[in-house]
Amino acid sequence: MTTPALLPLSGRRIPALSPGASSFPHHRATLRLSEKFILLLILSAFITLCFGAFFFLPDNSKHKRFDLGLEDVLIPHIDAPKMGKHAREREGAVRVRDEKTKGDGKPSLRDKIRADHERALQEAKEKLRKSRAELQAEIQTEKVRVVEELKKKEAGPRPLPPVPMPKVVGVSDGEPPEPAVKEKRDKIREMMKHAWDSYRQYGWGHNELKPLAKKGHTTNIFGNSQMGATIVDALDSLYIMGLHEEFKDGQEWIEQNLDFTGVNAEVSVFEVNIRFIGGLLAAYYLSGQEVFKLKAVQLAEKLLPAFNTPTGIPWAMVNLKSGVGRNWGWASAGSSILAEFGTLHMEFVHLTYLTGNPVYYQKVMHIRKLLAKMDRPNGLYPNYLNPRTGRWGQHHTSVGGLGDSFYEYLLKAWLMSDKTDTEARKTYDDAIEAIERHLIRKSNGGLTFIGEWKNGHLERKMGHLTCFAGGMFALGADGSPDDKAGHYLQLGAEIAHTCHESYDRTVLKLGPEAFKFDSGLEAVAVRQNEKYYILRPEVIETYWYMWRFTHDPKYRQWGWEAAQAIDKYCRVSGGFSGVKDVYSSNPTYDDVQQSFFLAETLKYLYLLFSSDDLLPLDSWVFNTEAHPLPVLHLGNITLPGSQPAQR
């Protein structure tokens, strides 16, 4: 090894040494006095320096450069000048924030960071005390954990706990014995195929179809995203109609494309619940295919942030990605809508049943409890409730839009629990009693109608949406208080009749969106913007329930009239479209094939011409989008988070 030339101590250059030679000149064994003195001086200066450093430099754990954050603590050997740009910027930022938090009584950011640093230093010291073997074992365990986590991520979501499949009966067939009825049923099946095939061809993957433009249709209720709403909504109809190829196609699309991770869309909680979660759960129960259950649960998780409000009443809309919720701008005083937050119970109870996660059940029970505590003007539920204050908004009560399915779900919660949820039944009975007293009237021409309560007076107008109530009254007749079953069945029949009149008094034999009972008018629309028909199901839904409970042939007759009118006036080469004026013999189209046309309208028509053993009503309860969910015999099941059922 070559030793570098020594620097002259006295100004005289010492000759360079040859390789292998000692570093000291051999001709002189001792140092001169002056040289000794200089060496001593250097040595004493060095000792003083070390001594000073030991006593006077700040404690390591308090050193400024440790105020940078955890990663700096974990690499404490990095000197400040070697810090990266970001670390330096962060150091500055921390200092500024520290200044801001000083003197407010709370532990300063600096204290918190210091505590973190000390903990990390302690951990580091402990690590250093460990033997090499122990450290290697720890590293190995950590490696295994990371690999496991990666595997889990690749394998997708955690499998759900196995739960017994509730009794599922009558999921197919239902062929009617009479050939004439079978012929009608076949026609409905053909209409379903036309609607589906057209969507398959022109709108596949979009939420809905524009049957005239022959392209996909997006709506704001699904955040203008492409979530395949028609596929999910139509699945169970396809299944019960025996359209198995189509069902398989839909299932494949769902398996490959229905993924909510990272979907940056602000969706309606209500619509996603009734169409997507309801549709997926029904498809799962009918077909037994796990994928539908998994997708329903994944989506439900994304809706949960909507409940993060001061009262627990959910926002109307939630962004699936950020979880940020808000209400419709048009809703009274920033309110949530009764028919929206009140139409979650059926699906959420099933979600808790299938996942073992009590959160869904708790969310809907919390809503129920909160409502039970509130004063109700005249015993009526206003349509608007502010989720921040927990106060009612405008006093507007309706059994149609904004209110409708809240009442429906009270009754169906009771039915779905195998009639054990008596609290729901009682709430339904009380609500219906108030509705009958304040909203239901007979017109001069003898038509029973359900009006709307607006700021202290009754508006004598009924919506197409309200027509579902005929079916609801019939469904709730059995089990009504004071043995009023006959009364409610009769009320259902009267509403069915009125709604049929609203169809029969038009040119197209299709019902308008809203109709009046005022100034000599009976069951007809007045305003131009109430004359449209958008393939809605409610009137046919009521015909079907009435048929099941009475077997009066007029309901099949009325249903057939409606089916023929739809086929004649709404059918186009690219599917089915809504029409803008049911009183015009030359109607224009709205160019939308609604997903509920496949989920509800065609399903109820098909069931109307099927035998009663297809989806029998003692085993199935239809959600508000006509997705059948099986009765959960809660007498035998205790939902996590619930009390055992009382009979």
Report the binding-site residues for Ca(2+).
Answer: 624
d(CA 337, CA 331): 8
Q: Has 404 been annotated as catalytic?
A: yes
Q: Which is nearer to ligand DMJ, 208 or 418 (CB)?
A: 208
- Return binding residues: 624
Q: Single out the catalytic residue among 208, 408, 513, 541.
A: 513
Binding mask 574-613 for ligand DMJ (x = CB under 6 A): ----------------------x---x-------------
Give the nearest distance from C-beta 432 to ligand DMJ in angstroms.
18
Two structure tokens written together for 270: 């209500």
635 neighbors 418 (Cβ within 8 angstroms):
yes
Give the nearest distance from C-beta 112 to ligand DMJ in angstroms.
51
Q: Single out the catalytic residue among 72, 233, 347, 404.
A: 404
Q: Is 175 exposed, middle or buried (0-12, 13-18, 19+ CB in 10 A)?
A: middle
Give the nearest distance from C-beta 357 to ligand DMJ in angstroms.
26
Out of 463, 513, 624, 639, the residue judged to bind ligand DMJ by CB under 6 A:
624
Out of 465, 499, 539, 621, the residue judged to bind ligand DMJ by CB under 6 A:
465
User: Quick one: which of 256, 286, 551, 273 has its CA closest to 409?
Assistant: 273
608 neighbors 556 (Cβ within 8 angstroms):
yes
d(CA 199, CA 196): 5
Q: Has 134 been annotated as catalytic?
A: no
Q: Which is nearer to ligand DMJ, 343 or 443 (CB)?
A: 343
Whole-number Cα distances in Å, 98 to 67, 298, 607 = 10, 41, 69
Q: Establish if 392 lies at the interface with ligand DMJ (CB under 6 A).
A: no
Q: Single out the catalytic residue among 340, 538, 590, 591.
A: 538
325 neighbors 309 (Cβ within 8 angstroms):
yes
Binding mask 56-95 for ligand DMJ (x = CB under 6 A): ----------------------------------------
620 neighbors 236 (Cβ within 8 angstroms):
no
Close Cβ partners of 335 (under 8 Å, ≥ 6 residues apart): 327, 384, 385, 386, 387, 392, 393, 394
d(CA 116, CA 273): 44
User: Quick one: which of 416, 398, 561 has its CA closest to 475?
Assistant: 416
Q: Which is nearer to ligand DMJ, 352 or 405 (CB)?
A: 405
Q: Which is nearer to ligand DMJ, 66 or 515 (CB)?
A: 515
Give the nearest distance from C-beta 609 to ligand DMJ in angstroms.
21
Q: Has 271 been annotated as catalytic?
A: yes
Give the nearest distance from C-beta 399 to ligand DMJ in angstroms.
12
**Which residue has its beta carbon closest to ligand DMJ?**
624
Q: Establish if 625 lies at the interface with ligand DMJ (CB under 6 A).
A: yes
In three-state secondary structure terms, 568 is: helix
Out of 251, 309, 352, 405, the residue judged to bind ligand DMJ by CB under 6 A:
405
Give the nearest distance from C-beta 594 to ligand DMJ in angstroms.
7
351 neighbors 277 (Cβ within 8 angstroms):
yes
Mind spelling out the 3-state secondary structure of 436-475? HHHCEEECCCCCEEECEEECCEEECEEEHHHHHHHHHHHH
Q: How big is the site for ligand DMJ, counted in residues (CB under 6 A)?
A: 8
Catalytic residue numbers, as ranges: 271, 404, 513, 538
Q: Kindly list the residues in this chain that would bind ligand DMJ in the complex (CB under 6 A).
A: 405, 465, 536-537, 596, 600, 624-625
